[in-house]
Amino acid sequence: MRRSPCIAAVVCLVSGCVIPPVLHAQQYPARPIRMVVGFPPGGAADLVARILGQKMAESMRQQVVIDNRTGAGSAIASEIGARSTPDGYTVVMITSSHASNAGLYKKLAFDPLNDFSTIALVASASQVLIANAAFPAKNISELIELAKARPGQIDYASGGTGSTTHLAGKLLGKMANINIRHLPYKGAAPAMTAVIGGEVPLQFSSLPGALQQIRAGRVKALAVTSLKRAAQLPDAPTIAESGVTGYEASNWYGVVGPAGLSRAVVERLNGELLRALRSPDASDSISRQGADPTGNSPREFQAYLKAEIVKWTNLIRAANIRVE
């Protein structure tokens, strides 16, 4: 009987070690959540993050603070996420640039796959291959035929070296076995001006950035880069259905946390994101940004991220693309 207080004390001590994590999972989130975005306010990634963050805040009854940390093609934001405490209070809105950074930079301060807990893929946006109105090819098949007849003589513009629009052109060249030359511009807008003016015949562009010029007839859309046709441009075929089977170069958006997030927190965040994506107002808002709401499981997103890293790293290394 004398040992009972000692035994009770030990039991209480052990219980004290076990209960807090359980209570933490039940009470999460107990304070605001920070969502780091590697691009400036007003861009597509920022807007998608704010749309979803607002819906999550309403549901979870905690503020979701958007923290814009630009630089190094979003690698700075990814590093912040990788180094944060795995408690669910810091997550990152990553994009397709997170996958391409694995090949573009000689050394990153983080492992783009293993240093993160994947939560959900939330949206995907097509790019579009546009041409000057006077360019002779009207579709991908005619472009491929022309490029094979004039190897290395047809140029395409992009928003800069290492950008997703640059890589989309390199992927087309590889998969269609054609040699088209890349001309980097300091942003998508100068590249568009060059195409309209006939300085360069082709450009890979974000769909929202090109729609107005396509509708005005200043440029023509040859194809979109997604696996399915874009709702905003339904008459434009995909590159894949135009004869380059399996081609895809979409801009995508997903949410990750640092490695080591508990399963309970990952599942809670995944559920909140999927709930937000199912809401008509959030879904419509994302669609107005030229993106399609998606949503999947943490495991599915991890497999997708891994495949994207492998695809772009192999392409970047084969083309010897580097950014400093």
Domain CATH number, residue 313: 3.40.190.150
Q: For residue 10, is pLDDT > 60?
A: no
pTM of the prediction?
Answer: 0.87
Residue 248: is it exposed, middle or buried by C-beta count within 10 angstroms (0-12/13-18/19+)? Answer: buried
CATH of the domain at 189: 3.40.190.10
- What Å distances lie between residue 36 and 66, 191, 296, CA to CA? 6, 29, 20
CA–CA separation, 291 and 76 (whole Å): 24
Q: Is residue 2 part of a domain?
A: no
The whole-number average pLDDT for the span 75-82 is: 97
Asked whether residue 131 falls in the same domain as residue 220, the answer is yes
Q: For residue 25, is pLDDT > 90?
A: no
Give the pairing type, strands 90-95 and 127-132.
unpaired
Q: For residue 7, is pLDDT > 50?
A: no
Strand partners, 156: 182, 202
Average the pLDDT over each of 4-18, 33-47, 49-63, 266-280 and give the range with the smallest value: 4-18
The whole-number average pLDDT for the span 290-304 is: 95
Count how many domains the chain has. 2
Asked whether residue 200 falls in the same domain as residue 55, the answer is no
CA–CA separation, 94 and 99 (whole Å): 9
Residue 174 domain boundaries: 127-224
Asked whether residue 108 falls in the same domain as residue 150, the answer is no
Q: For residue 82, is pLDDT > 70?
A: yes
Strand partners, 251: 125
Tens digits of residue pLDDT in 173-207: 999 999 999 999 988 999 999 999 999 999 999 98
CA–CA separation, 196 and 182 (whole Å): 17
The pLDDT of residue 208 is: 85
The pLDDT of residue 16 is: 46
The pLDDT of residue 290 is: 84
Tokens representing 310 are 């492998």
The pLDDT of residue 324 is: 63
The pLDDT of residue 26 is: 59
SS3 per-residue string spanning 186-201 = CCHHHHHHHHHCCCCC
Q: Is residue 148 part of a domain?
A: yes
Q: How many CA atoms lie within 13 A of 118 on its CB side?
A: 24
The whole-number average pLDDT for the span 263-284 is: 97
The pLDDT of residue 113 is: 98
Asked whether residue 151 falls in the same domain as residue 214, the answer is yes
Q: Of the candidates 99, 169, 96, 160, which has an alpha carbon nearest to the alpha carbon of residue 128?
A: 169
Query: pLDDT over 70 for what percent of the chain?
Result: 92
CB 45 within 8 A of CB 95: yes
Give the pairing type, strands 292-293 and 116-125.
antiparallel
Q: Is residue 265 part of a domain?
A: yes
Asked whether residue 209 falls in the same domain as residue 150, the answer is yes
Q: Of the candidates 238, 247, 255, 321, which has an alpha carbon nearest to the alpha carbon of residue 294?
A: 255
Q: Is residue 214 part of a domain?
A: yes
Tens digits of residue pLDDT in 124-178: 999 999 999 999 999 999 999 999 999 999 999 998 999 999 999 999 999 999 9
Residues 6+ away with beta carbon under 8 Å from 295: 120, 121, 122, 273, 274, 277, 278
Query: pLDDT over 90 for what percent of the chain?
Result: 84
Q: For residue 268, is pLDDT > 80?
A: yes
Q: Of the candidates 121, 133, 204, which has an alpha carbon nearest to the alpha carbon of residue 170?
A: 204
The pLDDT of residue 240 is: 97
Q: Of the candidates 243, 263, 250, 261, which has an alpha carbon nearest to the alpha carbon of residue 291?
A: 250
Q: For residue 22, is pLDDT > 50?
A: no
DSSP 8-class letter at 109: S
Q: For residue 265, is pLDDT > 70?
A: yes
Q: What is the mean pLDDT of the chain?
A: 91
Q: Is residue 8 part of a domain?
A: no
The whole-number average pLDDT for the span 56-61 is: 96
More confident residue, 10 or 178: 178
Asked whether residue 112 falls in the same domain as residue 261, the answer is yes
Q: Of the candidates 135, 59, 56, 128, which has an alpha carbon nearest to the alpha carbon of residue 93?
A: 56
6 confidence band (pLDDT: 50, 70, 90): very low
